[in-house]
Amino acid sequence: MLLIEDDARIAALTARFLETQQVAVTIVRDGLAGEAEAKRTPYDCVVLDLQLPGQDGLQVCRHLRQQLAVPIVIVTARTDEADRVLGLELGADDYLTKPFSARELLARIRAVVRRARGLVGPPTTVIDLGRLVLDRARFSVRLDGREVAVTTTEFGVLWALSEHAGRMVTREQLLDANGTSDVVFDRSIDVHVSRLRAKLGDDARRPRLLKTVRGIGYVLALEASP
C-alpha cells in the first residue's frame, strides 16, 4: 500500500499499525513524489492526504485516476461535503475524515481492495447487453462500440446494475455487490452513478440509461435509444 501523507507523526503511526496487520506500507510525504511513486510501482491501494506539499492531493487523485485503476482512499482534515464530493468525482473510491481510527482505515482499505480484486474473473466473464458490454477480465466497458474509462468502484456499480438490467437495484444491493455496508459509501453511491451518467453520455436531468428510483435505488434501462 502507498501512503501519501506529509504529517510524519500520522504517517508513522498509521504505517506501524497497518504493518502489524500484515499490510506493507510505503510512505511518501510530497504530492509530486507520491504521484511518481504510484505510477512507478504497482500498489494494491493508495491512501492519499489532500493537503500536501508539491502538489495538492486532489490533483494527485485526478492524475492517478486518468492513468491507473488502483483503488484510492482519501484521508483529510477537511470536513466540507464539497471536498468529499469533489474527491469522489475526481475518482477516489472512498473518503475518510481526520481524526480517524487506524482500524477504520484498515477496514476501508480492505473494502476497496476487495472490490477491485472482485472484478478479476475468468476471461469469459462478460455481460453483453447489446448496446452495453462489460468484461470483468479486461476491466472494460463499451457503450455503442465506444470504450468508456471507469474506476473500479464505478465498474462494480455498473456491473451490479447490468446483472439486473431492466430491474430496480437498491442502494443496499449496490453496497453488497461492492463489498461494503458503510454508511459513507452509501451516500457516495449517488456520486458514482452521477459520474457514470457523465461518462456514458446520459442526461443527468432526464436520464434515460441510468434511471433513479427516488429514495430506493437505480435501474439500468437499455431500451433507451442511443
Q: What is the pLDDT of residues 182-200, one digit of tens each?
A: 444 456 788 889 999 999 9
pLDDT on residue 187? 62
pLDDT on residue 124? 42
Q: What is the DSSP string of 183-203?
A: HHHHHHHHHHHHHHHHHHT--
**Three-state SS for 2?**
strand
77 in Cβ contact with 98 (< 8 Å)? yes
Residue numbers of the chain with a pLDDT score lower than 50: 120-124, 181-185, 224-226
pLDDT on residue 132? 93
pLDDT on residue 12? 93
pLDDT on residue 180? 53
pLDDT on residue 120? 39
pLDDT on residue 122? 41
Question: What's the CA gap between 217 and 224, in Å, rounded?
Answer: 19
pLDDT single digits (tens) 156-185: 899 989 988 888 888 887 877 665 544 444
Question: What's the CA gap between 177 and 158, in Å, rounded?
Answer: 10
Question: What's the CA gap between 212 and 219, in Å, rounded?
Answer: 6
pLDDT on residue 92? 87
Q: How far is CA 132 from CA 86, 93, 197, 200, 209, in A?
A: 27, 23, 13, 10, 10
Order of all β-strands in the sheet with 168-170: 168-170, 217-220, 210-213
